[in-house]
Chains A and B, each alone.
Chain A
Amino acid sequence: MNLALEVGQVGTAEAVQFFILAPIAVIAALGILFVKKAVHAALMLVSIMIILAIFYIANGAAFLGVVQIIVYTGAVMMLFLFILMLVGVDSSDSLKENLKGIRPVAITLAIGISLLLISLLSRAQISEQAPDLAVLNSEGNVEGIARLLFTEYVWAFEVVSALLITAAVGAMVLAHSEKSREISRTQRYKSVARFRGDSLATAAGLPGSGVYARHNALDVPALLPDGSASELSVSKTLQARGDVIDQSKFALDQLPGVNEADESSAVEREEER
């Protein structure tokens, strides 16, 4: 059944554009199901959205097309990518069931929704005479949509916006933790706290690692002026991992050339000069 011919004749340019873009959209849609990495699937979805937007624009709905790109491609899919990147680069979807019994529910829902859609679509009537775009857009595409949205459909419009705001506020309430209510410890706060704390020992900051030692590395503790190793100078992460080179090895009295014999020989050498 050729819907396009029934509804009305389609211009050559539009037909060419349709037959180039539609297969791409279908391939991309199938690709979403079959590619392994989530980012690839997201990209396919993005390309479908852009192609849809082009169709809208070609059909005279310039506003709808552009908004489709801004909202879906620019915001929704960008957020989606953001989450995917947070999850990790190489993680592919795990097929392990986290919630028990979710699969039968999902399958039932999917079948139900598709039955609903099919029954709706099959009962849809496509009028012989398509409404004339020139008439619909006579006051301008944007103005026409604005008039409809704020007169005839203003109730639906407001309800949808209230729903969306409720969803956003609900998500914030669910994700909110008490911790974020504490006064955030800013750099300024911390630097003041260093001087107003119990001691001034850390006022100048923690000692850097590897300083005064023969090594210049993160996993080597700094030596304090008295020759003992400073535990503070090595990152706690490294300490927990056990990646720190033994501190006693670098203590001043363990170093060759610092014991008394060497010291006296050094003094002698000085005197010779």
Chain B
Amino acid sequence: MTTAELIGQDPGWLITVKAFMVFGLCVILTLIAIWAERRIVARMQMRLGPNRTGKFGLLQSLADGVKLAFKEDLIPKAADKIIFVLAPLISVTVCFLAFAVIPISGPVSLFGRQTAMQLTDLPVAVLYILAVTSIGVYGIVLAGWSSGSVYPLLGGLRSSAQVISYEISLGLSLVAVFIYAGSMSTSEIVAAQDRFWFALVLFPSFVIFVISMVGETNRAPFDLAEAEGELVGGFHTEYSSLKFALFFLAEYVNIISVSALATTLFLGGYRAVPGLGFTEAWLGGWFTVFWFLGKVSLFFFFFIWLRGTLPRLRYDQFMKLGWKVLIPSSLAWILVVATLRVLTAEGASQFIIGGFTLGVVLLVLAASTLYERSKVKRQAFLHNIGEMPEPSFPLPVMPTARKNERLVIESHE
């Protein structure tokens, strides 16, 4: 029996119970995630992080949440009141919706009924997640617009451009997965990874997906919509108290749900690591939840790691990355995957498939070499600005760090 059929048999009360469990999971994960992020980033910056409230500071996010709720709730005079209130509500409502189609566990028994920890299964489940996240961005864009001041407006503007660009590459990175799994339903994609994870088979897709998911969730180094160094707080500059808390919650739930999506699509979802398949039957199947959460926290750690490591991109660099690198390369990759898939389906000989793969690899290598060469030439051309002026004061001998520049200077002489 497939997961879809298993879920289809659920009575109404079980669906309600599962909905509450998924909601609770999201909220608890958010609390833990905020604490974990602060502790881990602190470690990376040689600090301690919150360690006073509760054991290891575990209750810190709870305390912060309560404090935030009791703060004064301000609505600026220039704000468009209805939309100002509506924006955080849109953000926070929509962010939970994506979790409805994520398979959290394999077949388990809950209150005496056989089911799986997945709220519902659609034939277009992954597209549904894309649709829901695209609505969620309305929260950010509208917050920026309705605040009635400049920084939030800039933040909202950036966010809308960002989401349009990165949703394209996100969607394109999924195409290869659909081709290989032969389905858009999350449970069937998990089932299709019983032998190999798609992260291995479709590695370029995986890389593109991971980059675009960071862009999609407004996280460092792509957090241009809130860029505290440039835009104060970006879209949420004017928000305070509970409304701000809602944005905060939405951001973390979004991170967790894209991590869960990445887990489902590329890391085999709730399935155990290959070779440890026997653990899937432990605790009556509930052990699969730990596999799922483990993989999700891996992705979450990656998010924190990025934040601790990379500086924020400049806006034009960010757009360039999206439009000139991610989208063309994922289009090319889809062509390769589709051709390979057709060749396999038509029963082409291994010789042809191997030859095709070799050809693609050689083509990529040749293209990248040519690109590097032209880049060096272009740099040399760009730096050919003029002769070095005669310094009017004694200059120490400067160490020439880059090879390219030295080339340029030599060519002048």
Contact = CB atoms under 8 A, between A and B. Distances in A.
B400 interface: no
Interface string A177-209: 000000100001100110111111000000000
B127 A66 contact: yes
B124 A62 contact: yes
B343 interface: no
A199 to B, nearest CB: 6
Contacts, number: 107
Contact of B161 (A82, A141, A188): A82
B389 A199 contact: yes
B135 A200 contact: no
A78 interface: yes
Contacts of B202: none
Nearest to B133: A74
B67 interface: no
Contacts of A66: 122, 124, 127-128, 130-131
B164 A67 contact: no
B156 A74 contact: no
Interface stretch (B264-272, B278-286, B379-387): B379-387
B124 A142 contact: yes
A89 B123 CA distance: 41
B interface SS class: helix
B391 to A, nearest CB: 6
A89 B148 contact: yes
B153 A85 contact: yes
A78 B163 contact: yes
Contact of A85 (B132, B134, B145, B391): B145
B375 to A, nearest CB: 13
Given A196-B386, A197-B386, A140 B145 contact: no
Nearest to A68: B131
B195 to A, nearest CB: 23
Interface stretch (B42-50, B136-144, B299-307, B356-364): B136-144
B11 to A, nearest CB: 16
Nearest to B147: A89
Contacts of A251: none
Question: Which one of B127, B132, B137, B153 has the greatest number of beta carbons of chain A within 10 Å?
Answer: B127
B127 A70 contact: yes
A63 interface: yes
Contacts of B141: 78, 81, 85
B314 to A, nearest CB: 8
B123 A141 contact: yes
A interface SS class: helix
A78 B160 contact: yes
A73 B135 contact: yes
Nearest to A84: B145
B184 interface: yes
Interface in B143-185: 144-145, 148, 153, 156-157, 160-161, 163-164, 167, 171, 184
A203 B368 CA distance: 36
B40 interface: no
Contacts of A39: 80, 83, 142, 145
Contacts of B382: 183, 188-189, 192
B184 A69 contact: no
B405 to A, nearest CB: 8
A196 B164 contact: no
A85 B124 contact: no
Contacts of A78: 134, 137-138, 141, 160, 163-164
Contact of A192 (B131, B167, B383): B383
Contacts of B145: 39, 81, 84-85, 89
B135 A50 contact: yes
A8 to B, nearest CB: 23
A147 B184 CA distance: 16
A192 to B, nearest CB: 5
Nearest to A53: B131
A70 B128 CA distance: 8
A224 interface: no
Contact of B127 (A67, A192, A198): A67
Contact of B131 (A70, A82, A198): A70
Contacts of A141: 123-124
B388 interface: yes
Contact of A82 (B148, B160, B386): B160
A79 B383 contact: no
Interface string A126-163: 00000000000000111000000000000000000000
B383 A74 contact: no
Nearest to B156: A85
A46 interface: yes
Interface string A73-94: 1110011011011100100000
Contact of A200 (B153, B164, B387, B389): B389
Interface of A: 37, 39-40, 43, 46, 50, 53, 62-63, 66-67, 69-70, 73-75, 78-79, 81-82, 84-86, 89, 140-142, 183, 188-189, 192-193, 195-200
Given A78-B134, A81-B141, A89-B148, 6 more contacts: A75-B134, A81-B145, A85-B156, A196-B388, A198-B389, A200-B389
12 contacts: A37-B80, A46-B138, A63-B123, A70-B134, A73-B131, A74-B135, A75-B167, A78-B141, A85-B160, A183-B382, A189-B383, A192-B383
Can you list the 7 inter-chain pairs with the closest CB atoms, starting with the nearest?
A: A74-B134, A69-B131, A196-B385, A66-B127, A82-B160, A196-B386, A66-B124
